[in-house]
Structure 1
Amino acid sequence: MENKLTYSEFQEHLLQAVRQELKTQGSYQCELTHNQKNNVESAGLIIRQEDHVIAPVFYLEKAYQSFLAGMPLQQISRELVEAYQEQVLPEVDLPDLTDYEKIKDRLRVRLVNRENNQSYYKQGPYKLHPMGAEVLYIDLENQGTERMSIQVKTIMAERWGKPEAELFGTALENTQDHEKVSFCSMNEALQELLAEEPMVAPLEESPMYVLSNETRKFGATVLLYPEVAKQIRDKIGKDYYILPSSIHECIILPKEKGMLSVKELRDMVWEINQSQVLPEEVLGNEVYEFRDTVAKVKKCSKEERER
């Protein structure tokens, strides 16, 4: 039966169905892709009109679940083509990626997961960090409200002929200039989220803080900025733990007597990552700390976690 296709077989059958659907509608290219993103590899279908520079990727996990639930392959194909035709593709200012002088101002750095993610971050230059891996990106500006970016691959960096230290230094400076730090109490963050909700009960005071950037996109990266970790310590007046909420933000928890143990905090981080954070947005399952006497971010030791 058709609905007994494996995921791999489904992808091939859907590709042929979409090609057939587009056959009478113009000149299109259609192909399968497997994109390695933070922590996960996703199968997708690319549809490109021949005179367009960019093309959307339609990821297929949900489509396959619909197929297994009984939706006919032809209906899935038709809906996918309709979705492609309804969207407005942005006009992207695509630079010459081989010319370092043209792209150096677009370089950015991100902090991503490294625990189960080597095939992703090792596609290009990277630096290991106590909380993950630092990865280089090129920011692609466009004329709409959305922003696009691509990871710097090894072959790109080799063509530029620049030392990796220079690339990461430039990327960090650019990122600091374009992604300002956002640091607020947990109560302030929740009040911002609930601002539009009517009749919200007063929030209990929370000892925690939220660290991110102003766009809330890859906000954990601000921990790479020089002096940020020390500035937080100066602001709250205490050493603190760092809980990696996601690649977009971290929770700052001042150290207090009678608080949860590091092991309990680590269990909490793991549980939240499993139940509330998308796999591609998980930063890590460990707990980190900043102590004024050490003056740097470090992972809590095994002895501390177990105690």
Structure 2
Amino acid sequence: MHYLEFEKPLAEIENKAEELRAMAATNSEMDVKQEASALDRKAETLLKDLYANLTPWRKCQVARHPDRPHCRDYVEALFTEFTPLAGDRNFAEDLAVMGGLARFNDQPVVVIGQEKGYDTHTRIEHNFGMARPEGYRKAVRLMDLADRFNLPVVTLVDTPGAYPGKGAEERGQSEAIARSTQKCLEIGVPLVSVIIGEGGSGGAVAFASANRVAMLEHSVYSVITPEGCASILWKDAEKMREAAEAMRLTAQDLKKLNVIDTIIKEPLGGAQRDRKATIQAVGKEIQSMLDALKGMDRKALVKDRRQKFLSIGSKGLAA
């Protein structure tokens, strides 16, 4: 288990309990059941206290937790007959974006998402989930395919933002993001999106301009990372805590502002503590969002999506 900085006191208690059990396993005469159980209870209480009222910055840390389920985990668990489709038919394949044809609860769909990778090798391979222009152009190609064959689109968002490298800018990064966002708003099929970790900048909006948007309880969604915001406003990335507070990037804030539609509850301690339960909860919400859009014709779906984005902020401002 990888522990975050604010979870260090919890790590000490849980590690102590494990040490006691390990010692007892090598010495049958040792009876540590009561001591270990007491530590377990203390750890559970502390875990509840830590996650009862997470600050926005701590939510950012949880959203970035390396053990959270990634896009590939959701695709493998929730979708069957997944057939990956690669390349933008223009420049290259971008491994930061995965997508293809699949079945979701036996319904044909197109699924698209950002994959960060799970170890050093795969994180480099997937560019830490930061897509280049060809990744967004691949997404546009897949959405066009879905529109042509009347297939619902499911997007899974988990990115710190679009890749800011020189080559990406030379190949039209901003234009590619804009085209992907435009395509989201144009297609005449149901489009649902789930923010499963980080929803960073235009890199997230390009996938999440959907009829229905859900967020995991401890995920974040913002125009820029807190570190980036702090660097711009205060010329000091260490002020990321203040930036996170001001940006209103948590699922709870965004629900109040009408930016998202649903918050998906995570297991106590975050998605990383019970990956299976988290994936099941996301699958249930995807089905619920798709069911809500059944029976709507193409014009109604486009109008619904347009109205959703025109109304963003009005609910929160009125309050």
| TM-score in same-fold range (> 0.5) | no
Q: Which has the higher contact order (CA 8 A, sep 6+)?
A: 2
User: TM-score band (shorter)?
Assistant: under 0.3
Name the structure where helix makes up a greater proportion of residues. Answer: 2
Name the structure where strand makes up a greater proportion of residues. Answer: 1
Query: Which of structures 1 and 2 has the bigger CA Rg?
Result: 1
Task: Tell me the TM-score normalized by structure 1.
Answer: 0.25
